[in-house]
Amino acid sequence: MSHTNQTLGEFIIENQSSFKYTSGELSRLINSIRLAAKVVNHEVNKAGLVDIIGAVGDTNIQGEDQQKLDVYANEKFIQTMTKRNIVCGIASEEEDDFVAINSQDENNQNKYIVLIDPLDGSSNIDVNVSVGTIFSVYRRVTPVGTPVTIEDFLQKGSQQVAAGYVIYGTSTMLVYTTGDGVNGFTLNPAIGSFYLSHPNMQFPEDGKIYSVNEGNYIHFPKGIKDYIKYCQKEEGDRPYTSRYIGSLVSDFHRNMIKGGIYMYPKSSKKMNGKLRLLYECNPMAFLAEQANGKASDGFTRIMDIEPTELHERVPFICGSKNMVEKAEEFMRNA
Ligand SMILES: O=P(O)(O)OC[C@H]1O[C@](O)(COP(=O)(O)O)[C@@H](O)[C@@H]1O
Ligand SMILES: [Mg+2]
Ligand SMILES: [Mg+2]
C-alpha cells in the first residue's frame, strides 16, 4: 500500500519503536531536535522569499562567511534545547566556545551534552541545493550539578550515545541512531509529524559512486590520487560515477541509500582536511558504523581519534565498507 492510504497510526511511530532502547531523557532530547528541525525546515523552505539567504556579514571561528541561515539554525537549535531544559552544554560550529546550560545549578540533573553543525552545506544555501543539520550527543564526564568543562566536549566518538542529521532536501528527513541501528523519518509538513519511512538503514557493502571535490585533486596525497584513478579506470564494474553535492549530509545520505564513498582528504592547502571531528565526522561515523558502513581518516577509525580542541579538523573517508577499505589500501601503499 502507498503511504497515502495507510492510516496515520501505522506510520506516526516517531515516538515509539525508535525509542525502544532509549532513556526517557534522551527521547526528550531527540524530540527537541525534531521540533527545532521543523522550525528550521520552515525557514529553509522559504529562504528565497524572505531576507534570510546571503551572508550575514560576520565570519565564524572557522573564518567562513556566516550565512544568515547558519545563524538562524544555530539560534533555533540552541534555544529549543535550552528552553526544554534537557542538556547541560552545547558546542556548535557557529559558536567560538561551548555554551553551558545552567550546568552550575546544583539542581540541574541534566547529563547530556550536544555538539552541532546547525547548517551543513552552507555554500548551497543561496543556490537552492539541499543542506542539513548534524548533531552528536554524549553523557557529560564531569559530575552532575557542576559547571561543564571542555573535557565534557572532547570525548572520543566511540562515547557518543546518539547522533544524526536532518536533511532539508526534496523532502525533509531526520535520520539518527541511539546505538541500535539507523532509522530515517520523513516529515509530513501538512501535519508536522515525522513518519518512519526508512527503518534500519544500511550502507550497501559495495557501491559505484565516489564523492570528492576533484577541484583539489592536485593537492591530494598520492594514495587518494591513486584511489580516484582506480575509480575512473575502465575495468570490471568501473569507472564509477562521480557525484558531489557539496553538502556532507546530502552526499552521505545518497551513499547510504545507493552505496558509495565520500572523501574530504587532507591536502597541501588544508593539512587536516576541512571537516570538523566533533560535530561532522564523529556523528557521521557513528551513523555509518551503525549502518554497516565505515569511517576513517584513511588510517585510523574516526571514532577512535582522541579530540584535542573543539573545532579541530580531520581528513574524512566514509561510506560503503568495501569502498572505504579499498581507499585505505591505496593510502597504506602510497
Ligand atoms: O566546497 P568544499 O570545499 O568541497 O566543501 C564542501 C563540504 O563543506 C561543507 O559544506 C562543510 O560544512 P559547513 O557548510 O557546515 O561548513 C560540507 O557540508 C561539504 O561536504
Ligand atoms: Mg558542515
Ligand atoms: Mg555548518
Task: Kindly list the averaged pLDDT for each block of 10 residues, start to end, along the chain of length 334.
Answer: 39 46 80 95 75 68 78 94 88 97 75 96 90 97 92 98 96 96 95 94 98 97 98 97 98 98 95 97 98 98 98 98 98 96
Determine the distance separating the centroid of ligand 3 and the alpha carbon of 74, expressed in angstroms.
Answer: 9
| Protein residues within 5 Å, CB atom, of ion ligand 2 | 117, 120, 280
204 assigned to some structural domain:
no
Q: What are phi and psi of 189, to 5 degrees?
A: -65, -20
- The answer to whether the beta carbons of residues 83 and 95 sit under 8 Å apart is no
Best mutation site among 68, 214, 245, 274 for ligand 1, i.e. most ligand atoms within 8 A of its Cβ?
274
Residue 122 annotated as binding site: yes
**Based on the domain organization, do 33 and 174 belong to the same domain?**
yes
Atom of ligand 1 nearest to the CA of 134: 15
Q: State the CATH number of the domain containing residue 29.
A: 3.30.540.10
In sequence order, the 6+-apart residues with CB closer than 8 A to the CB of 159 are: 138, 139
Count structural domains, the chain.
2
Atom of ligand 1 nearest to the CA of 249: 18
**Relative to the alpha carbon of 255, which ligand is closest?**
1
**Based on the domain organization, do 104 and 247 belong to the same domain?**
no
Residue 239: other Cβ atoms inside 10 A: 14
**Based on the domain organization, do 260 and 193 belong to the same domain?**
no
**Based on the domain organization, do 188 and 213 belong to the same domain?**
no
* Cα angle for residues 158, 161, 166 (degrees, 5° grid): 105
CA distance 36 to 242: 33
**Based on the domain organization, do 106 and 185 belong to the same domain?**
yes
ipTM above 0.85, yes or no: yes
Domain, as residue range, for 142: 3-198
Under the phi-then-psi rule, with left for phi > 0, alpha for psi from -120 to 50, and beta for the rest, what region is 179? left
Q: State the CATH number of the domain containing residue 263.
A: 3.40.190.80
CA distance 327 to 194: 36
**pTM greater than the 0.90 cutoff:** yes
**Based on the domain organization, do 10 and 152 belong to the same domain?**
yes
**3-class SS at 30?**
helix
Determine the distance separating the centroid of ligand 1 and the alpha carbon of 108, expressed in angstroms.
Answer: 36
